[in-house]
Amino acid sequence: MQTVDWVQWLAFGILTLLTIGSALAVVIDRNIFHSALWLLVSLFGVAGLFVMLSAPFLAAVQVLVYMGAIVILIIFAIMLTRRLMGLTEALNTQWWVGGITAIVTFLVIAFVLFQAGQGANPILVREPIAALNGRGVEELGKALVDPAQYALPFELASVLLTAALIGSIVIAREDQ
Amino acid sequence: MQQVNEWLFIGIFFAISWALPAAPILIGGVLGPKRANRLKRETYECGIETVGDAWVQFKVQYYLYAIVFLIFDVEAVFLFPWAAAYNQLGLYAFFEMLIFVGLLGVALLYAWRKGALEWT
Amino acid sequence: MIEALVNLGWNPHIATFVALLLGVVACASFGLIWFTVIGLWLVRKVAARVQDRMGPNRVGPFGLFQVFADLGKMITKEDITPQGADKPIFNIAPLLAIAAVVLIWAVMPFAKTLIGADLSVGALYFISVASLGTLGVLLAGWSSNNKYALIGALRAVAALVSYEVPMVISILVPVLLAGTMSMNGIVEAQHIFYIFAVPLSAFVFFTSNLGETGRAPFDVIEAESELVAGYNIEYTGIKFGMFQAAEFVHSFTSCALMAVLFVGGWRGPGAELPGLAGALFGFIYFFSKSMVIYMLLLWIGNTVPRLRIDQMMAFNWKFLVPLQLVNLLAVAFVAKILQPNYEAVRATAESGSTLGNIYRVFGPEFIADLPRAIALLIVNVIILGGVGLMIRNSIRKERASVEANRAARPPYLGRRTPVEQPAVGD
């Protein structure tokens, strides 16, 4: 349908600009608190992209966990370790190492995505989930508990969460 | 495809939900008096002069509450697809969930006994 | 349905866009504007009557236009930004607070055909959006460049974030029983209202919403604004009004959500009719159920004393969260064992036997749900009984220890040592 086409392109364009632009602002902005807020905007852009990929569940999870919990945690961590309203240096002395790593990573990911787009790599080709049209969450739920599919990672995630909680409590209470 | 319309609605809704509070604020900016003086712009501290800049003794307790919240949030996120698909699964789904929630219950118990959930 | 209105001969893209826009404005403004006009008056009248006084009765008949007077006052106040405050964040925070609440109304099912956006993940969507409000509080406190605002904001965020946990876990129960996360789906699956099947989850949801929206008895967050340490003390005029409005609309939104998730939303006799009649009936049921729950919230709010913040946190982490986890597991167990068998019941209802006729009178889905609902109710009562026993034991233990302490020390009946009297004649 014509509507869907240019509306989707417009939405994709806006979301991409939002995500990449605010990601740039995270590293460029001197005020570290503002960087955390630009991160918030960038994560919101990612949530929008999830919606465009017909994964509304992941979008809602992104907003709930990343924007609603992790950014708050990051802000708390900033408050815990930094003086308020201080400005930080834009670059440190090893910026060229970081630059090379970033470019190499970008090339690798671009190569993989290009291959996936062409259908060359069988691991990366999947059925379109848009066909599920709203039943995606139930399929995900069934896959998560199915012993033949993702039941073990599911339980291991629980172990990971428990370990994270116990670890953070140990570290936080250490200085008391 | 029907879901696309729904999310388009949400997109427009998002834009409107920022415009709706912005309108009264802008109107207030126009209507309100603008007699700014030095005294009004000082930060409020029960009427006495402020000393030092805004530096706060940040209790680690806030961070612990945020971490425990994050853990349980992620747990709930795992539980949502399970709950949505529950009616179509067998009894084994319940036992898998029992293990999942049980482990996290152990974590909560640990936090409780170690005093991580106390206010001070 | 809203789109069907405007396909008259316009360009279809523009028609869709305009229809969506109108729908958006209707949804967004319902919560924010229409309800505020009635609700603010209601809050003040109810609070006043509980406190044995009159409440507003000057502006308009019975004080009904008090809202406009308040709004006019706030909008004409001077807008002061404290020096050193982070201007862009300072201005965004009240917008974020309201946006977070208004966005919830996009998925609210007003009637069977009146819903903004029937997302397949509606239940998760509204929790995610509500968590943005917490961020607004934090930004407000931070950007004010004020120690006390920051302390107040941190405490408020700690409390808000804590009460999200039992809320999220208690939403899992209707999702589990309905088998879908879509809000309209949950309402349509409630042949028996969930509040009768899982009252404990409804209680946990209601209480955690009291904590989330900062209503009594958990209004330490609000109280801090009355004392020095509140996150919005540096805000003046309409921006402050925005924070208050956000909190107020949030409390009504949570009542509406409770109505949708647990008391059956727009369900009721006549709500299934097609067209305008069904929509009207549905909307009336939805609104009246939300208002009843809102009156319950006001009643509790005006009666119960305020909890201290450490009591609040202890109540959340040591009572609500474990209770809701146990409740979830029990509900899951019973729901799996006694899964409603719609086909068998429908088949019996189709056949001409007397049992089938009884089934047809009540509605086959209702009958199919009945065993599960009764079993869930029994399990909830058992859990409640167990919890009550535990509380009673702990109260008894505490009372016994206090008694033991008191018995160990004799009561003070007078001076222990005689007073040194000066000798006469010295």
Closest to A69 (Cβ–Cβ): which among B58, B73, B116?
B73
In Å, how far are A99, C21, C99, C239 from B18, measured between CA atoms?
A: 37, 14, 6, 13
Nearest residue of chain A to residue C182 (CA atoms): A134
Inside any domain, residue A38? yes
Inside any domain, residue C29? no
Tokens (6 digits) for A135: 């039943």
Inside any domain, residue C94? yes
Shared domain for A5 and A74, answered yes or no, is yes
Quick one: how far is CA A121 from the chain centroid?
A: 24
What parts of chain B have a pLDDT lower than 70? 1-4, 36-57, 120
Q: How far apart are CA A124 and CA A107, in angstroms?
A: 17
Q: How far apart are CA B44 and CA B38, in angstroms?
A: 13
Q: How far apart are CA C262 and CA C266, in angstroms?
A: 11
Q: How far apart are CA C244 and CA C252, in angstroms?
A: 13
The alpha carbon of residue C420 is apart from the nearest alpha carbon of chain B, in Å, by: 47
The alpha carbon of residue B16 is apart from the nearest alpha carbon of chain A, in Å, by: 16
Confirm if C163 and C313 have CB atoms less than 8 A apart.
no
Shared domain for A23 and A79, answered yes or no, is yes
Inside any domain, residue C129? yes
Hey, which chains touch A, using 3+ CB pairs under 8 Å? B, C
- Helices C199-212, C364-408: axis angle to 10 degrees equals 70
* Range scoring the smallest mean pLDDT among A80-94, A138-152, C44-58, C89-103: A80-94
Inside any domain, residue A174? yes
Confirm if A22 and A41 have CB atoms less than 8 A apart.
yes
DSSP conformation class of C421 = P
Domain end point (choices A59, A85, A111)? A85
Q: Which of C21, C90, C91, C128 to mutate to test the interface with A (most CBs of A within 10 A)?
A: C128
User: Computed from CA positions of residues C79, C85, C90, C91, in that sequence, does the dihedral angle turn out positive or negative?
Assistant: positive
Inside any domain, residue A90? no
Nearest residue of chain C to residue A40 (CA atoms): C135
Residues of C in contact with A79 (CB under 8 A): 154
Sequence-distant (6+) residues with CB within 8 A of C287 are: none
Residues of A in contact with B116 (CB under 8 A): 169, 172-173
Which pLDDT score is estimated for B37? 67
- Domain of C113, in residue numbers: 79-306
Q: How far apart are CA B62 and CA C57, in angstroms?
A: 44
Confirm if C133 and C101 have CB atoms less than 8 A apart.
yes
Shared domain for A101 and A24, answered yes or no, is no
In Å, how far are B20, C166, C248, C327, C370 from C259, measured between CA atoms?
A: 26, 18, 17, 20, 20
Binary contact (A67, C131; C-beta < 8 A): yes
Which A residues 69-108 touch B at CB under 8 Å?
69-70, 72-73, 76-77, 79-80, 83-85
Nearest residue of chain C to residue B6 (CA atoms): C117
Instruction: Give the Cβ contact number of residue C23 at 10 Å.
Output: 22
Q: How far apart are CA C162 and CA C155, in angstroms?
A: 11
Inside any domain, residue C314? no
The tens digit of pLDDT for each residue in A15-70 reads 999 999 999 998 888 888 888 999 999 999 999 998 888 788 889 999 999 998 99
Task: Kindly state the helix (H) or strand (E) to which residue C344 belongs, with its residue range.
Answer: helix C342-350
Inside any domain, residue A64? yes
Q: How far apart are CA B92 and CA B83, in angstroms?
A: 13
Which pLDDT score is estimated for B1? 43
Residues of B in contact with A76 (CB under 8 A): 58, 62-63, 66
- Domain of A109, in residue numbers: 95-126
Residues of C in contact with B86 (CB under 8 A): 176, 179, 332, 335-336
Nearest Cα to Cα of residue C164 among A77, B14, A64 = A64
Q: How far apart are CA A53 and CA C260, in angstroms?
A: 29
Give Dmax (Cα) for chain B.
71
ipTM of this predicted complex?
A: 0.86
Binary contact (C135, A67; C-beta < 8 A): yes
The alpha carbon of residue B15 is apart from the nearest alpha carbon of chain C, in Å, by: 9
Shared domain for A54 and A101, answered yes or no, is no
Inside any domain, residue A169? yes
CATH code of the domain in which A38 resides: 1.20.120.1200
Strand spans (E) along C92-233: none
Residues of C in contact with A158 (CB under 8 A): none
Number of inter-chain CB pairs under 8 A, A vs B: 143
Q: How far apart are CA C309 and CA C159, in angstroms?
A: 8
Q: Is A72 on the interface with C (CB under 8 A)?
A: yes
Closest to B69 (Cβ–Cβ): which among C91, C147, C161?
C161
Q: How far apart are CA C392 and CA C250, in angstroms?
A: 35
Please calculate the CA angle C82-C225-C63 and round it to the nearest 5 degrees.
105
Nearest residue of chain A to residue C175 (CA atoms): A138
Q: Is B42 on the interface with A (CB under 8 A)?
A: no
Shared domain for A109 and A132, answered yes or no, is no
Shared domain for A122 and A165, answered yes or no, is no
Total tally of structural domains belonging to chain A: 3
In Å, how far are A12, C86, C317 from A49, measured between CA atoms?
A: 7, 30, 35
Closest to C309 (Cβ–Cβ): which among B18, B58, B119?
B119
Tokens (6 digits) for C31: 């919560």
Residues of C in contact with A70 (CB under 8 A): none
What tens-digit pLDDT sequence spans chain C (426 residues)? 444 444 444 555 666 677 777 777 777 777 677 777 788 888 888 888 888 887 777 777 777 787 788 888 888 887 777 777 778 888 889 999 888 888 888 888 887 777 777 788 888 998 898 888 889 989 888 888 777 788 888 888 888 999 999 999 999 999 998 888 888 888 888 888 888 889 999 999 999 999 888 777 777 777 776 666 678 777 887 888 888 888 888 888 999 999 999 998 888 776 677 777 777 888 888 888 999 999 999 888 888 888 888 888 888 898 999 999 999 999 988 888 877 767 777 776 666 666 666 666 667 677 777 888 888 888 888 888 988 898 888 888 888 888 888 877 766 666 666 666 666 655
Shared domain for A164 and A103, answered yes or no, is no
Q: How far apart are CA A11 and CA B11, in angstroms?
A: 9
Nearest Cα to Cα of residue C171 among C293, C258, C264, C291 = C258
Shared domain for A132 and A122, answered yes or no, is no
Confirm if A144 and A158 have CB atoms less than 8 A apart.
no
Binary contact (C124, A60; C-beta < 8 A): yes
Inside any domain, residue C274? yes
Domains defined for chain B, CATH in brackets: 2-113 (1.20.58.1610)
Shared domain for A70 and A50, answered yes or no, is yes
Whether pTM > 0.90 for this model: the answer is: no
Residues of A in contact with B97 (CB under 8 A): 145
Inside any domain, residue C330? no
Total tally of structural domains belonging to chain C: 1
Confirm if A41 and A68 have CB atoms less than 8 A apart.
no
Sequence-distant (6+) residues with CB within 8 A of C398 are: none
Q: How far apart are CA C15 and CA C199, in angstroms?
A: 45
Task: Identify residue C176 by its one-letter amino acid code.
Answer: L
Which pLDDT score is estimated for C170? 92
The alpha carbon of residue A110 is apart from the nearest alpha carbon of chain C, in Å, by: 31
Which pLDDT score is estimated for B43? 61
Inside any domain, residue A3? yes
Binary contact (C158, B45; C-beta < 8 A): no
Tokens (6 digits) for C87: 């201007």
Please report, in angstroms and rounded to a whole number, the separation of the first and last CA atoms in chain B. Answer: 52
Instruction: Give the Cβ contact number of residue C378 at 10 Å.
Output: 11
DSSP conformation class of C317 = I
Inside any domain, residue C233? yes
Hey, which chains touch B, using 3+ CB pairs under 8 Å? A, C
Three-state DSSP class for residue C399: helix
Q: How far apart are CA B22 and CA B16, in angstroms?
A: 10
Q: How far apart are CA C240 and CA C144, in angstroms?
A: 13
Q: What percent of chain A has pLDDT over 70?
A: 80
Inside any domain, residue C171? yes
Shared domain for A145 and A110, answered yes or no, is no
Count the alpha carbons within 13 Å of B81 in the hemisphere toward its beta carbon: 25
Confirm if A47 and C124 have CB atoms less than 8 A apart.
no
In sequence order, what DSSP letters do the residues of chain B get, joined into one string?
Answer: -HHHHHHHHHHHHHHHHHHHHHHHHHHHHHHS-----TTTTSPPSTTSPP-S-S-----HHHHHHHHHHHHHHHHHHHHHHHHHHGGGS-THHHHHHHHHHHHHHHHHHHHHHTTTTS--
Nearest residue of chain C to residue B5 (CA atoms): C117
Binary contact (A64, C157; C-beta < 8 A): no
Mean pLDDT of A94-108: 89
Binary contact (A85, B54; C-beta < 8 A): yes
Binary contact (A64, C128; C-beta < 8 A): yes
Binary contact (A134, C182; C-beta < 8 A): yes
Q: How far apart are CA B110 and CA B108, in angstroms?
A: 5
**φ and ψ at C272, to 5 degrees?**
-90, -5
Q: How far apart are CA C206 and CA C33, in angstroms?
A: 24
Binary contact (C134, A68; C-beta < 8 A): yes
Please calculate the CA angle C308-C314-C319 and round it to the nearest 5 degrees.
130
Q: How far apart are CA C217 and CA C306, in angstroms?
A: 5
User: Computed from CA positions of residues B101, B104, B108, B110, in that sequence, does the dihedral angle turn out positive or negative?
Assistant: positive
Nearest residue of chain B to residue A144 (CA atoms): B82
Which B residues 11-30 touch A at CB under 8 Å?
11
Binary contact (C336, B86; C-beta < 8 A): yes
Residue with tokens 């109108």: C22
Shared domain for A72 and A141, answered yes or no, is no
**φ and ψ at C303, to 5 degrees?**
-110, -40
Hey, which chains touch C, using 3+ CB pairs under 8 Å? A, B
The alpha carbon of residue B6 is apart from the nearest alpha carbon of chain A, in Å, by: 11
Burial (0-12, 13-18, 19+ Cβ within 10 Å), C413 = exposed
Q: How far apart are CA C229 and CA C238, in angstroms?
A: 20
Residue with tokens 């190492």: A97
